Structure 1
């Protein structure tokens, strides 16, 4: 499969990124609901949730059929769902509690499991949803095919919990894997693998702030193909790849 040619969109401010992202998601929601009767969305943590804030405001919040949305998590810290480090809690407080997505359509990790058990359980749940026709399947990879993945990037170029120095970034078989030595606490996490990530119909890479500028330069600059690739450079979906960047994030380009 040929690598995706990214659509790179740049904006002066983070607020303009948030508006553009809301318009983009509004369009995709209508498109996939019209085609399939549903819209599967994968969230990552960090600043991405704040960048989704425009979707909780008029006119966007009133223009989306939220009942058709299903929410999944790109990676998660293996902590209780009400823990301050939980991506689910971050997403709930900043986004999910402000829009009427049915609770039964939101898929957090199971609590009180080990990292390995949590990863295996989440993968099995995804496979069950595929078997029950709640999720589509990639004809290319056989992995679940999500409609939209909303992906952030760490300052050193990691995505999900796939870090430069972890072998999990090379996983080819598992849909969901785990780590127990994250460089940033908490150390226990589960994460989608690149084959699952890249089976998506659409991926939005949402990157803002000056602390991301060096990694953006490596990923998108003229020497992007040199040397050992950053994890973010392995993001290459079957469908579309759109980067949403503010001026600070592209300041080194």
Structure 2
């Protein structure tokens, strides 16, 4: 079991609008720390509803988009203009509305869609190019990884009971048997996720009540994929949820402040 530097910090907001505002402030603080240390801000994003919850960054003068380097925590193996593409979703709802350099966004290589091994190796090489020459860690150390939470407890493309939950060496892995479509995906592995400086889950809505309560209140007994996100000693784990999602959670909630 990985050592955690501190217990998760759990923020619950009365409304979606308050969550969006708090999440934006949190990201700005993470950006400030990263730029102060190394002059760049490395981020990995999931898809689903999460990109829309980054709306608080749009038009915010404090965001230094030219310093961002954005990767995907997971991606569906489809063309970049396909409706299932996380890259398309992030582009439509966020990147097309802000001044982020195109070269700072790192999608999958769509010339390799027919070979999942090559595709995941290619994406891992993108990470190596970004991190290996600048950091000395065994795994890349993202400044921030933003994750969603499925009602089944999955996060990124790490699903309950799947063999990828045991992956301990690769940075990027693939699956061709996703329990939800599309079947073919690539995903960051736990060693990468758990080496980030900050990992933040974002979860909203009543459909998340049961799974969120299980993860937060009974972590020793659950094997849900999201419960296995436990940053190592240099990292911290945060939850940004709304009151609808946290209605059944007994875990101590924190007052959001920076």
Q: TM-score, normalised by structure 1?
A: 0.93
Partner SS state of residue 52, structure 1: helix
Of residues 18, 32, 35, the one that matches 2:34 is 32
> What is aligned with 1:237?
231
> What is aligned with 1:247?
243
Q: For 1:24 and 1:45, how far apart are their aligned partners in 2?
A: 19
Q: For 2:3 and 2:133, how far apart are their aligned partners in 1?
A: 30
> What is aligned with 2:180?
184
Q: Does 1:96 align with 2:92?
A: no
Q: For 2:37 and 2:70, how far apart are their aligned partners in 1?
A: 18
Determine if contact 1:137/1:145 at 8 Å carries over to the other structure: no
Q: For 2:220 and 2:139, how far apart are their aligned partners in 1?
A: 27
> What is aligned with 2:254?
none
Determine if contact 1:21/1:52 at 8 Å carries over to the other structure: yes
> What is aligned with 1:63?
62
Q: For 1:224 and 1:214, how far apart are their aligned partners in 2?
A: 13
Determine if contact 2:207/2:245 at 8 Å carries over to the other structure: yes
Determine if contact 1:70/1:101 at 8 Å carries over to the other structure: no
> What is aligned with 2:45?
43
- Mind listing any 5+ residue stretches in structure 1 that lack a counterpart? none
RMSD: 1.2
Shift in Å, 1:137:
4.3
Aligned length: 243
Q: For 2:40 and 2:205, how far apart are their aligned partners in 1?
A: 33
- Mind listing any 5+ residue stretches in structure 2 that lack a counterpart? 250-258
Where has structure 1 moved over 6 Å in runs of 4 or more?
Answer: none
Q: TM-score, normalised by structure 2?
A: 0.91
Shift in Å, 1:116:
2.0
Q: For 1:214 and 1:170, how far apart are their aligned partners in 2?
A: 25
Partner SS state of residue 50, structure 1: helix
Describe how 1:1-253 pairs up with structure 2 within 5 A.
Answer: 1-3=2-4, 4-57=6-59, 61-113=60-112, 114-133=115-134, 136-138=135-137, 142-221=138-217, 223-226=218-221, 228-238=222-232, 239-253=235-249
